[in-house]
């Protein structure tokens, strides 16, 4: 509980204007839970999948190349290589960058664990750098402070769909001979200073999990403008095996394992779904941006809610809408606010527990908390509100009503 003057008159008035919280036995705002994210499947999507099921190829067929070409064109990249998941794509990118034991890679602590784990998969050393307080993306000054002679890569995370400060990070990379692997799993369709995310960094990773902008069921993608990297990525997803068209023509059975790769292939089924869904990306983005506008307008006068930032020179893809709960204006903490919103059947979430605070990282690397104060402080305040293209106007109103109801109840 915050230690400042408690205006009991204001609190009583606000509480009288709100019904009893569902957490304490009141009627919830909604009868059914509204998730923070949800996929959308149309009859056209279903038909695209049925066409594959009725065809000759379920995997390693023509729909994969079709999907890759469509994504590459969408983001303005020369090459796109599809994988079985976003994690697989990130792992492949770290492999293609040739990271290994003795090399260091820098990333954000405020991300899903896969961003960090992919560095460890290759035996490289993981280094975290703290984030900027407004965009919650990597702070270039903090990255610069972490650079050593062993640094080989920077992995910025486009948190919530807002591009990281790519120009500054790429300038650092050029100056020190590094590679930038951008985790844009939140940011399909985002724009950074007039350029499409996916065409800017050396490699850019996407996820097509069902809560993302488009889905392949599970799936991921790396985009790049580098032909050599694209070749390594393609080999890596198929056990490191390679063959050339001429070899296949002379000996169709012949192949060579060049690298130690994995089975990270995606199916034609998933790619057919993804290609169909990609046609609605612009509509999806427009829906999300309209929801953001309504949220921002509704929460402007709520002292306890800090809305997410979108800088003037970017267009966020708004994968999630993370608010920060300012406990100074409340009689309770984030955990209670979270429980209260859930009780109102608003499926809030938290993105993310900082990676270095997970037990595995604490045990292996000795993190105890306090190492990255900006990320840790913001994590303690974060709550993700529902946002997805299938939300109705009533869904959005329910979220706004529930936030006002809960914040009003706990207001000083």
Query: CB count, 10 Å around CB of 286?
Result: 12
Q: Which residues are catalytic?
A: 212
Torsion of CA 228, 232, 234, 235, to 10 degrees: 140
Count of residues making up the chain: 412
Give the HSE-up count for residue 181: Cα atoms under 13 Å, Cβ half-sphere. Answer: 30
Place of tokens 């059947």: 345
> Which among 107, 159, 120, 135 is positioned nearest to 372, based on CA atoms?
107
Sequence-ordered list of residues with C-beta below 8 angstroms from that of 131, at least 6 positions apart, any chain: 108, 109, 110, 137, 138, 139, 142, 159, 372, 374, 375, 378
User: What tokens appear for 258 in the block?
Assistant: 């060049």
Q: How much helix, strand and coil, in percent to the nearest 5, is found in the chain?
A: 40, 15, 40
Taking the C-alpha atoms of residue 116 and residue 136, their distance in angstroms, rounded to an integer, is: 16
């Amino acid at each position: 509980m915050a230690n400042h003057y408690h205006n009991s008159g204001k609190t009583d008035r606000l509480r009288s204007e709100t019904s009893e919280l569902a957490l304490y036995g009141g009627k919830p705002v909604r009868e059914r839970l509204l998730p923070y994210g949800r996929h959308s499947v149309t009859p056209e999507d279903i038909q695209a999948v049925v066409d594959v099921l009725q065809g000759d190829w379920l995997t390693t067929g023509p729909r994969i190349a079709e999907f890759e070409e469509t994504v590459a064109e969408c983001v303005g990249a020369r090459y796109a290589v599809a994988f079985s998941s976003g994690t697989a794509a990130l792992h492949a990118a770290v492999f293609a960058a040739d990271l290994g034991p003795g090399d260091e890679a820098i990333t954000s602590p405020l991300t899903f664990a896969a961003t960090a784990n992919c560095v460890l998969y290759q035996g490289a050393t993981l280094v975290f750098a703290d984030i900027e307080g407004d965009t919650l993306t990597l702070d270039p000054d903090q990255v610069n402070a972490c650079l050593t002679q062993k640094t080989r890569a920077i992995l910025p995370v486009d948190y919530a769909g807002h591009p990281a400060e790519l120009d500054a990070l790429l300038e650092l990379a050029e100056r020190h001979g590094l590679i930038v692997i951008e985790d844009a799993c939140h940011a399909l369709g985002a724009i950074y200073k007039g350029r499409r995310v996916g065409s800017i960094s050396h490699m850019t990773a996407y996820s097509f999990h069902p809560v993302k902008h488009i889905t392949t069921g599970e799936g991921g993608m790396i985009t790049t403008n580098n032909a050599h990297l694209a070749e390594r990525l393609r080999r890596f997803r198929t056990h490191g095996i390679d063959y050339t068209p001429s070899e296949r023509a002379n000996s169709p059975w012949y192949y060579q394992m060049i690298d130690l790769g994995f089975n990270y292939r995606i199916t034609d089924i998933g790619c057919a779904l993804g290609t169909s869904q990609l046609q609605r990306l612009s509509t999806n983005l427009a829906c999300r941006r309209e929801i953001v506008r309504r949220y921002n307008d509704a929460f402007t006068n709520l002292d306890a809610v800090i809305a997410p930032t979108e800088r003037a020179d970017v267009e966020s893809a708004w994968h999630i809408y993370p608010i920060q709960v300012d406990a100074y204006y409340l009689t309770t903490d984030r955990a209670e606010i979270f429980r209260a919103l859930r009780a109102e059947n608003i499926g809030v979430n938290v993105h993310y527990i900082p990676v270095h605070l997970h037990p595995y990282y604490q045990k292996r690397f000795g993190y105890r908390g306090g190492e990255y104060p900006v990320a840790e402080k913001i994590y303690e305040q974060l709550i993700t509100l529902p946002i997805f293209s299938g939300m109705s106007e009533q869904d959005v109103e329910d979220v706004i009503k529930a936030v006002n109801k809960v914040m009003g109840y706990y207001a000083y």
